[in-house]
Amino acid sequence: MHVQCARITGLEKEIEALKNKLAKNSRNSSKPPSSDGYGKPKPKSPRKKSGRKSGGQPGHKGSTLKQVEHPNHAQEHAVTQCNHCHADLSQQASIQHEARQVFDLVEINVCVTVHCVQIKTCFPLCRSRQGRVSGGSVTQHQQQWVAELSQCLLGAKREVDDAKAANAPSLMASRITYFDRCYSRLLRAGRDELPLLPVDKNKKRGRPKQHKVKNLHDRLVNHKGAGVFIRRLTAL
């Protein structure tokens, strides 16, 4: 008898635990809303009932698209037979028309425009830009090689202008060689005058920052090697 009572008590506790487990949902426990399944309660609106029917209320001023006087297209829908007895009405005259206008959005087409920007090289302008940078380099950082290089480029430009004025077919090869060697010699000599910036020990990534005069020297060297700058400058 005691064994049977104990078993009944255990089953009652198990049933009670199962009931509590089934009664849990996302509102009374930490279970997610997705675990509620089809038994989830219907969402309740915070709005209170007003007692009025849904939709537009009496006295409400409606708004709609009004018909236009001049539509873009007109389409005639002919009546050829009766919908009830199917008699032929193709030859019957119309007694009136009923018109309805349909407003459609025009199809949006993608328009692709390619913008081509011209790339040109102006050596006189390049020379003048270098002259402006060079002037600051000479006065602020005592870069003698910049001043001499500017005189070299100006001298080459003057001889080219004189040759053009004399209708010469080209600048003499000896003069082109002279300016080319002078250009290279001055760039080599300028390496010893280049100022250096203090090393930033806190910077761990990227290349170390260079002085603007060093950047100018690098651009002139690269232009010399890639485009043969002095030969283009002296070309007629």
The DSSP output letter for 216 is: H
170 beta partners? none
Tens-level pLDDT at each residue, the chain (236 residues): 777 788 888 888 888 888 877 777 777 788 887 777 776 667 777 788 888 888 878 888 777 788 888 888 888 888 888 888 788 888 888 888 888 888 888 777 777 777 777 665 544 434 433 444 444 444 455 678 888 888 888 888 888 888 888 888 777 888 888 888 888 888 888 888 887 777 766 766 767 778 888 888 888 777 654 335 556 655 65
| CB-based contact 135:128 (threshold 8 Å) | no
Q: What pLDDT is recorded for position 120? A: 58
Rounded to the nearest 5°, which phi and psi values hold at 88?
Answer: -75, 120
| CB-based contact 152:159 (threshold 8 Å) | no
Q: What pLDDT is recorded for position 128? A: 37
pLDDT digits (tens, 9 = 90+) for 212-225: 888 888 887 776 54
CA distance 132 to 223: 18
pTM of model > 0.85: no
Q: What pLDDT is recorded for position 130? A: 41
CA distance 180 to 234: 10
Q: What pLDDT is recorded for position 179? A: 86
In the numeric block, which tokens belong to residue 16? Answer: 């009670």
By C-alpha distance, which of 214, 219, 209 is closest to 191?
Answer: 214
Q: What pLDDT is recorded for position 133? A: 40
Q: What pLDDT is recorded for position 234? A: 57
CA distance 175 to 105: 72
The amino acid sitting at 185 is R
In the numeric block, which tokens belong to residue 201? Answer: 């020990």
Domain boundaries, the chain: 123-196+208-233
Residues 6 or more apart whose CB falls under 8 angstroms from that of 108 comprise none
Instruction: Quote the Cα angle for 16-22-27, to 5°.
Output: 120
Q: What pLDDT is recorded for position 226? A: 37
